[in-house]
Chain A
Amino acid sequence: MRILVVGGGTGGTIVANNLARRLSAELRAGKVTLTMLSASDRHMYQPGLLYVAFGQMMPDALYRDQASLLEPSIEFHVDPVKHFMLDEQKVRTGSDRVFGYDVLVIATGSRMVPEEIPGLVEGSETFYSEAGAIKMYKALRNFQGGRIALVVGVPHKCPIAPVEATFSLHDFFKARGIRDQVEIKYHYPINRIHSIENVAKWAKPEFDRMEVAYETLFNLKEVDVANRIIRSEEDTEYAYDLLISIPAHRGMAVIEENQLGQAGWIPTDRHQLTMAGYDNVYVLGDTTNLPVSKTGSAAHFEAEVVAENIASIVKIGEPVREYDGKVYCFIEAGHDQATYAMFNYQNPPDLKPANKSMHWFKMSYNQLYWSSVRGLL
């Protein structure tokens, strides 16, 4: 059986390594082949970008060579897919090579699209890329006081990032001794300050304590860069001195170009994680159109289900597990404290009080991630 994994991010890497471990005998015997196609020879720990934006992590600490993370039995090519020919069970890559498959895993991820909002690219700082995070750190470092606006697009990767960035802004300027000269205003698209009700209930008094202002039901329509004003679809506006954005995301362009899903999100069965209409195509991580968080944690738990099911299909001909919607999110709460939210399709998140041990757990996870993507944790 030929298994092809397209995408070398968190989801793709975990699914490939997990499969290599589960199917080691079949791979050695040549009964199964496992191939990964990725757009990059490097793997980035994306949650680290927020730390880079606040000077708490250096960019080189975010990367490992992708090949070094993969089991030796995985055939790895840096050769992104350009054409999906699902009916012929083939893909064609950028170098014009054709790879056939019996089982395909699509884990191409998502990308920010700040260009969809007029003025957002030139008018705002964002930490969703390495260059952006470094630029944002320099802007924060040079900021001597004034009004900071934080805006949030829909949908976005890492739903907890807006709250974490706000806590970090407060701590950053407090540490610099100029918090009293900085006005922070948080803007959020729906009618509470976070999509998770319990997070919103917990964060509201924290924002009040930190004297962070907030406006809900604010969906950014445009940035007037010359006059430094943001305007919303709801017809409100705010004048800023420094704008920080969490831009809206889309799935990767190749998904849209191949008409696999609107806006790059592939229609996916919420329990089996198979693509609508194709039982031999699995989709995971940000690439799905599932109503779950676009985060490495969801990709991780989905990857475990996909790998277990593909392995069981090889061994007994049937899948054995269903994805229950599990997501586990660390929440950095400022003051060297953290908490977490865990939920699935049936159980809403129940937030625990933030403490220092959870902050260290997050710090530890920043390192243990590399064991996690290798399929160890």
Chain B
Amino acid sequence: MSDTKVIDACNTFCPGPLMELITYMKQAEVGDTLELLSTDQGSASDVPEWVEKVGHEMIGSEKVGEVWHIKVRKAK
């Protein structure tokens, strides 16, 4: 099993969850999975939009309590 890097971006407003994901995506290797934790409602739509546009792979997105867990695999 490959490790999933968890990025805790809960309760942050600047630079915000998507910026955090982009930061860690740059540091990751192709094939790595990142799990973004976010309390920002916008993340549920913002993150998939970016992932699709840039060409990475959405693995899943679910809300547990108040926290969105969004999993993305680096594809390029």
Contacts and interface: CB of A to CB of B under 8 A. Distances in A.
A and B touch in their complex, CB below 8 angstroms: yes
Interface of A: 154-155, 159, 189-191, 195-197, 217, 219, 233-234, 248, 262-263, 291-293, 325, 327, 329, 341, 343, 345-346, 348-349
Pick the most buried of A248, A263, A291: most chain B CB atoms within 10 A of its CB: A291
A343 B19 CA distance: 17
B46 A195 contact: no
A348 B16 CA distance: 11
Contact of B54 (A159, A234, A293): A234
B27 A263 contact: yes
B15 A291 contact: yes
Contacts of B50: 190-191, 217
Interface string B1-22: 0000000110111111111101
Contacts of A325: 11-12
**Interface of A (DSSP majority class):** loop
Nearest to B45: A191
A197 B42 contact: yes
Given A195-B15, A196-B13, 12 more contacts: A154-B15, A154-B26, A190-B46, A191-B49, A197-B42, A219-B54, A248-B26, A292-B14, A325-B11, A329-B14, A346-B11, A349-B13
A190 B16 contact: yes
B52 to A, nearest CB: 10
Interface string B38-70: 000010001001100111000000000000000
Contacts of A189: 18-19, 22
B4 to A, nearest CB: 15
Nearest to B38: A291
Interface of B: 8-9, 11-20, 22-23, 26-27, 42, 46, 49-50, 53-55
A293 B15 contact: yes
A343 B16 CA distance: 12
A276 to B, nearest CB: 12
Q: Which 4 A-B pairs have the closest CB atoms?
A: A291-B12, A195-B16, A345-B11, A190-B18
A329 B15 CA distance: 13
B23 A154 contact: yes
Contacts of A345: 11-12
B49 A291 contact: no
Nearest to A194: B14
Pick the most buried of A191, A196, A197, A341: most chain B CB atoms within 10 A of its CB: A191
